[in-house]
Amino acid sequence: MPAALRDSFGRVADDLRISVTDRCNFRCVYCMPAEGLRWLAREDILRFEEIHRLTRIFVQRYGVRTIRLTGGEPLVRVRIEELVAMLNALDPSLDITMTTNGVLLRQKAKLLREAGLKRVNVSLDTLHADRFAEIARRDAFARTMDGLAAAEEAGLRPLKLNLVVMRGVNDDEVLDFARLARERGYEVRFIEYMPLDGQGRWNSDLVVPNRRLQEQIEDLFPLVPAQEGKAAPAQSFKFADGAPGGVGFISSVSDAFCSSCNRLRLSAEGGLRTCLFSMRETPLRDLMRQGASDDSLARVIEAAVWQKEEGGALHISDSSYQAPAKSMSQIGG
């Protein structure tokens, strides 16, 4: 039987987020600078075999059940479907998912589904093409929407949309996204704007607390809490009138979910991060390439997780808060 991977506060880590690349074909304003970000060298990025080995340790030794592939943009990693198949072979019942901007889903959705991918979260911050180009700094709205259609056709369900809400930028579209959820059966996740933009332009004035968004939606579409099998960062709701789809709120700024956090992150260059906002990483890639055994890697992993931050000292609203040196694209969402 796998042993639970616990930290010193009793939280169990069973959700592993793996960044397969730091590269992206977008330059979203809340994630990356418009230009000038240096990419990792090819040899510095974890090879598929290395990702497979580390995932096997997390799954077989510690009972991790959810694997989410992220980036950068994971679909720019060549033959990403082969990695999905390798991970699925560890245990076909694993919940293998992906967060993507959707632009390449038309080419990849069917291959990914056949390889064992269960679901996708598509980042979509607006339903207006001109605004999309301003936020993503790429004119790709039509391709992203076509990618959504391709994911549905391939059976990658339930389809979730990730929406980073910024005051004065896209906060006037909240009800439009709620309507879309009801019409298409999507699950829309409203995410508070976090200070991981790579340009240091984050300002608390741009943050719209999710409780206000929830109130706005409930004025038109009453909500009821969704029945979740386990604690999750998102507060999820269904529509009270039985309409399909639902909404969720990830309130990392106004109401951080640190006390129930079950996530770990593996960066593209093999750094284990126990918190998105952590100032430290545990380098697993170098240990592997130096010949470390699985037992040695396991001891390092256990020690890193045991030292996972409580979270309170890292809260964004704390006056002593310091943002990590890495942007979201470099950490992996």
Per-residue pLDDT tens for 143-202? 999 999 999 999 999 999 999 999 999 999 999 999 999 999 999 999 988 776 556 676
Residues forming beta bridges with residue 282, ordered by sequence position:
272
Of the two residues 232 and 270, the one the predictor is more confident about is 270
226 Cβ contact partners less than 8 Å away, ≥ 6 residues apart: 236, 237, 238, 246, 248
In a domain, 53, yes or no: yes
- DSSP lists the bridge partners of residue 120 as 98
Single-letter amino acid, residue 79: R
pTM assigned to the model: 0.92
- The letter for the amino acid at 121 is N
4 inside domain: no
**Dmax of the chain from CA atoms?**
59
- Tens of pLDDT, residue by residue over 262-286, are 999 999 999 999 987 777 899 999 9
Structure tokens given for 318: 């704390």
Question: Residue 104 to residues 12, 35, 281: CA-CA distances in angstroms?
Answer: 34, 22, 30
Domain count within the chain: 1
Residue 301 domain flag: yes
CB atoms within 10 A of CB 42: 8
What per-residue confidence (pLDDT) applies to 32?
A: 79
Residue 245 falls within a domain, yes or no?
yes
CA distance 106 to 36: 29
Q: Round to whole Å and give the CA distance between 178 and 172.
A: 12
The domain in which residue 220 lies consists of 15-331
Which residue type sits at 103? V
Q: Which of 204, 275, 191 is nearest to 235 (CA)?
A: 191
> Is the confidence at residue 331, as pLDDT, over 70?
no
Q: Which CATH number characterizes residue 115's domain?
A: 3.20.20.70
3-state secondary structure of 32: coil
Interval 85-116: pLDDT, tens: 999 999 999 999 999 999 999 999 999 999 99
For 21-36, what is the mean pLDDT? 85
Is position 227 within any domain? yes
pLDDT score at 313:
41
What is d(CA 94, CA 59) in angstroms, rounded to the nearest whole number? 9
Q: Does residue 208 contact residue 228 with C-beta atoms inside 8 Å?
A: no
Q: What are the helix (H) ranges across the chain?
A: 48-56, 62, 80-90, 105-115, 129-136, 141-154, 174-184, 210-220, 284-289, 294-306, 328-331
Residue 3 included in any domain: no
Residue 319 falls inside a structural domain? yes
Q: Tell me the C-alpha to C-alpha distance, in Å, between residue 174 and each of 191, 208, 218.
A: 11, 11, 11
DSSP H helices, 116-231, are 129-136, 141-154, 174-184, 210-220
Does 316 reside within a domain? yes
